[in-house]
Structure formats: structure tokens, C-alpha cells
Amino acid sequence: MRPIRIIIADDHSLFRQGLKALLKSEPEVVIVGESDRADELPTLLARIPCDLLLLDLQMERDALADIETLVQRTPVIVLTASEVPADAVAAIRKGARAVVFKRFAVESLMDAIRTVAAGNVWLPTNLQTHLAALLKSPAGTRLSPREEEIVRHVAKGLRNAEIAAQLAISEETVKTHLTHIYRKLGVRDRMELARYAARAGIGSV
């Protein structure tokens, strides 16, 4: 049976070398290419046939924007140091076939590779639980227009009192909206929410 051909894209040399060492011990896979730059991946994939791309979500630029293009050439497994559910969900929505948290890569990467190579989707258990909760919610991760306004203001660095003044609502109402937003998106604080807004393009509107 032919080994699974893999290209690794990660701009952290030490982690990339660790991945190579891990995978070289597995007879099921063969590494056919590697890159530390997101912008060269379409050319690399066109030049080197592969079965899977292991893609670091936090490269020198946010790789989330590249996933939709890359999955047209090969299945993508996202590797990420971020364990924020919203980041992983965004990657899946863009077309990634698996999300592997870097902290657990040694234990879970081969499971993800085998699953995706067989044509299926692989997700960490805690992320499966999060997605199941979203599916049970009629609203899912869809934000209301008011919630999007608040996210936009958070992304600009405004405090709750300033947001309340901008929207002519009480500070307590802002806090309530933020609680709902955190729960919907699976983020824990304003920093994670601002990062989500940047990736979703909410703060730029």
C-alpha cells in the first residue's frame, strides 16, 4: 500500500523538525515537501503531488485566509497552538479536514492523518463536544446585528463603558451581550474575541 504523501507548512523550525522526526518513524507516511512560508504553498502544491497538507494556522501571516484555496488542491490538516474553539471552527468552515492542537500532536496527529486520508473529518474530543453544543443551539454561532456591533467595538479596543455610550445602552447590557457572544463563539476573554473579529473581518467593517 502506497504511503500517505505529506507536505508540512510551519514557520517554526523547531516544531517543523519535531514533526519530521515524529512522522519519519511512521511507515504509513512519507514527507515529500516542507515550507515555512504561506505564500509559496500554492506553487509548492502544484509542483509536488501530495495526499495531505499539514498547515500551521499561525504562520507569518494568518493561514486561515489561505485554506479555501489550498483545499482545492489537497486535504488540509490544521495544526494550531490556539485551543480556542472559534479558531478551530473557523478553519473547518474554510474547508480544513482536521484540527490538531500542537500540545497534543504527538498523541493525536497520526490518528488525524489516517482519518483524513480515509476521506473523513477528525476533531479533538473537546472540539467535538463544542460543535455538538452549537448544533443543539438554533442560533449556532450566528451573531445578531447588535452583537456584531459590540464585537466591532471590542476589536477597536473600546471598554464596556465606551461601547455603552456609543450604542446608547447601559453598561450592564453590554456585559450581558458579551456573555452571550463568548458562549456562542467559544472565546474566553476580550483578547480572544478581538482575534476572532480580525479573522472574521468584523473589526474592519
pLDDT at residue 135 is higher than 60: no
User: Residue 135 CA to chain centroid, in angstroms?
Assistant: 18
Q: What are phi and psi of 100, to 5 degrees?
A: -120, 120
pLDDT at residue 140 is higher than 60: no
User: Percent of the chain having pLDDT more than 70?
Assistant: 89
pLDDT at residue 157 is higher than 60: yes
Rounded mean pLDDT of the chain?
86
What is the pLDDT at residue 200?
Answer: 66
How confident is the model over 100-129, as pLDDT tens digits? 999 998 999 999 999 999 999 998 877 776
Q: What is the mean pLDDT of residues 17-31?
A: 93
Q: What is the mean pLDDT of residues 151-158?
A: 90
Which letter does DSSP use for residue 119 in this model?
A: T
Which residue in the block uniquely carries the three cell numbers 512522522?
23
Q: How are beta strands 76-80 and 29-35 bridged, if at all?
A: unpaired
Query: 64 with 55: CB under 8 angstroms?
Result: no
Return the number of other C-beta atoms located less than 10 Å from residue 83's C-beta: 16
Length of the chain: 205
Q: Distance of CA 163 to CAs 54, 148, 151, 180, 181, Å?
A: 40, 12, 10, 16, 15
What is the pLDDT at residue 86?
Answer: 75
- List domains and CATH numbers for the chain: 4-126 (3.40.50.2300), 145-200 (1.10.10.10)
Max Cα separation, the chain? 65
What is the pLDDT at residue 165?
Answer: 93
pLDDT at residue 21 is higher than 80: yes
Query: 19 with 83: CB under 8 angstroms?
Result: no
What is the pLDDT at residue 84?
Answer: 77
Of 1-10, 85-94, 175-184, 193-202, which gets the smallest average pLDDT? 193-202
Question: pLDDT band for position 203 (50/70/90)?
Answer: low
Question: pLDDT band for position 205 (50/70/90)?
Answer: very low
How confident is the model over 46-102, as pLDDT tens digits? 999 999 999 998 876 667 778 888 999 999 999 998 887 777 888 888 889 999 999
